[in-house]
Structure 1
Amino acid sequence: MDKKGKKLLALIPAYNEEKSIKTVIENIKDIADGILVVDDGSTDNTSKYAKECGAEVIRFEKNRGKGAAIREGFRYFINSPYDICFIFDADGQYRKEDILPVCKPIINDEADIVVGSRFLGEYKEGANINYRIRILCNQISTYVTRLMSGLPTTDAQSGLVAVSKYSAKQLDLKADRWGIHQEIIIRAGKKGLRYKEVPIVFEKRMHGVSRLKVLKYPFTAFPVMLRAWIRR
């Protein structure tokens, strides 16, 4: 797929992902023009292995949360020579084949922000423990995000999201931990950004289990969503 001269930055927030980070980075090197790993206070070799693969690394001394990692990555992106930034989780559940299709609407100037939707595509059973409960929680979160944003989102928690530099400057994100993906969509709606979704495939993690706690998630994410909606 022709990138039309656009330079793509992969933003990988990571926390204790030494078992998958090398594979994830090596897998996307031929697509991304630059790779930034924001190590969220890992206590393993995540930063070391990312640097060995040639990625740029920003490391937090202590764990601050995925939201803080993404916000730090956006600050880097805004001051960089890259044109498009795509968030790509470090656990290996997202496919390299979906990256360019997600970036394409921005490359073609048809959108400012694009979300890779697992529910327009395929959310493979077994991709997460508590599979059905997680999908139910995501559906509730997505419904509330749709109401708050006024955007036709079908997957408010997707870890594959592309943004233009213009939209990264406009979003004014505040979340430190969970809720960052819903905040991105709600702020996009508040700021009148052009929004699109692209079907993607969500696969089983390479190693370990998700750190997202299903029962605690709403209590962390909903206040973030509410503040994003109230804020101008």
Structure 2
Amino acid sequence: MVDSASVAILIPVYNEKKTIKNIIQRCRHYSKNIIVVDDGSTDDTLSEIDSNFVVLMQNKINLGKGASLLKGFKYIVSCSFSGVITLDADGQHDPADLSKFFELITKTPESIIIGARTLNTRSAPWKRWLANKAADAFVSLVVRKKLQDTQSGFRYYPARFLATLDSKNITNRFAFETEILIKAVHSGFLINYIEICSCYPKESRHSYYQPIRDSIAILNSIRRSIFYKKLSSRKSIDNQAK
């Protein structure tokens, strides 16, 4: 059984001065192990983060969400945490749902857990909802397994999975989470879910999400994942032949 104190919370942030302080405060009710990675924010986000209560890491320039998550993952593995829960800083993920994560983590500590936005779905912008459903269909087709809410960034990853990630073969940008989910399934990790609300708070900043651009990025990430899986299979066959 995993001790909740051994699970960290990772928050990637970029220009979220209106919400980051509240998100951190609410997360502290569930864990004192909070890592925040600032991705070169140009507003007053940093002034809202008290480094006495979190481990603050920074990218000098904006490198993308994937790069921020990878930086946090490397730190988490180096500190021997048993796993990490990731959530966004813009208020779309309710820290109150962390209790659901911890409850399931104690039962399946070596699985990937996704916070699936199946509650209050009417609040989601229709373009985003449609793009997410399309992504779910494509990713499920690739891994030959039905997956839910593949675009949700509210997730738990066991450290054993984080240690397998190779930054050279993964995008640093929006589609990062899609790629590593595909990798997790191909690597045999179990995927579990908790139900969470679909939240789009008015106080959060305007989303950088662009359905057409980001859907193309997701398709490219799927194509890249297929390529590396085939490449890995060929290497395995070659090694066996030797």
Fold in common (TM above 0.5): yes
Q: Does 1:227 align with 2:224?
A: yes
Counterpart in 2 of 1:200? 196
CA distance in 2, matches of 1:189, 1:52: 36
One-letter code aligned to 2:174: W
Give unpaired runs (5+ residues) of structure 2: 233-242
Q: Residue deviations 1:20-46, cap 9 Å, x none?
A: 110000011011231111111101222
Indicate if the aligned counterparts of 2:93 and 2:199 stay in contact, CA closer than 8 A.
yes
- Counterpart of 1:199 in 2: which secondary structure? strand
User: What is the CA distance between 1:82 and its match in structure 2?
Assistant: 2.0
Supply the AA of the counterpart residue of 1:29.
Answer: R
Assess if the C-alpha contact under 8 Å between 1:190 and 1:229 holds in 2.
no
Q: Which residue of 2 aligns with 1:62?
A: 61
Task: Write out the 4+ residue segments of structure 1 that deviate beyond 4 Å after TM superposition.
Answer: none
AA in 1 matched with 2:221: V
Query: Displacement, 1:75?
Result: 0.8
1:39-50 to structure 2, matched below 5 A, reads 39-50=38-49
The CA RMSD over aligned residues, in Å, is: 2.0
**How much does 1:111 deviate?**
4.3
The corresponding residue for 1:175 is: 171
Partner of 2:142: 148
- TM-score normalised according to structure 2 size: 0.86
Given that 2:37 and 2:58 are in contact with CA atoms closer than 8 Å, whether structure 1 keeps it comes out as yes
AA aligned opposite 1:144: F
Q: Which amino acid aligns with 2:212?
A: L
Q: Determine the C-alpha separation between the residues in 1 that align with 2:71 and 2:176.
A: 12
TM-score by length of 1: 0.89
Question: Percent same amino acid among aligned pairs?
Answer: 26
Report the counterpart of residue 123 of structure 1 in structure 2.
121
Does the CA contact (< 8 Å) of 1:12 and 1:90 recur in 2? yes
Paired residue secondary structure (1:51): coil
Partner of 2:163, secondary structure, is helix
Larger radius of gyration: 2
How far 1:185 sits from its partner (Å)? 1.4
Change (3 A) 1:171 1:151: farther
d(CA) in 2 for partners of 1:198 and 1:230? 31
Aligned length: 226
Query: Is the alpha carbon distance of 1:68 and 1:169 closer, same or farther for their aligned partners in structure 2, counting shifts above 3 Å?
Result: same
Q: Do the aligned residues in 2 keep the contact of 1:11 with 1:35 (CA within 8 Å)? A: yes
Distance, in Å, in 2 between the alignment partners of 1:17 and 1:146 is: 32
Map 1:2-13 → 2, pairs under 5 A? 4=3, 6-13=5-12
Gap change, CA 1:181 and 1:102, over 3 Å in 2 = same
Task: Give the C-alpha shift of residue 8 in structure 1.
Answer: 2.0
200-209 or 26-35: bigger deviation: 200-209
**Does the aligned pair in 2 maintain the 1:47–1:59 contact within 8 Å?**
no
Instruction: Please state which structure has a larger fraction of its residues in helix.
Output: 2
CA distance in 1 between counterparts of 2:192 and 2:108 reads 11
Residue 133 (structure 1) aligned with residue 131 (structure 2):
no
**1:13 is paired with a residue of what secondary structure?**
strand
Residues 172/150 of structure 1: CA separation in 2 closer, same or farther (3 Å cut): farther
Unpaired segments ≥5 residues, structure 1: none
- Alpha-carbon separation, structure 2, partners of 1:225 and 1:58: 29
Between 1:13-22 and 1:148-157, the stretch displaced more is 148-157
Structure 1 position 218 matched with structure 2 position 212: no
Cα shift at 1:14: 0.6
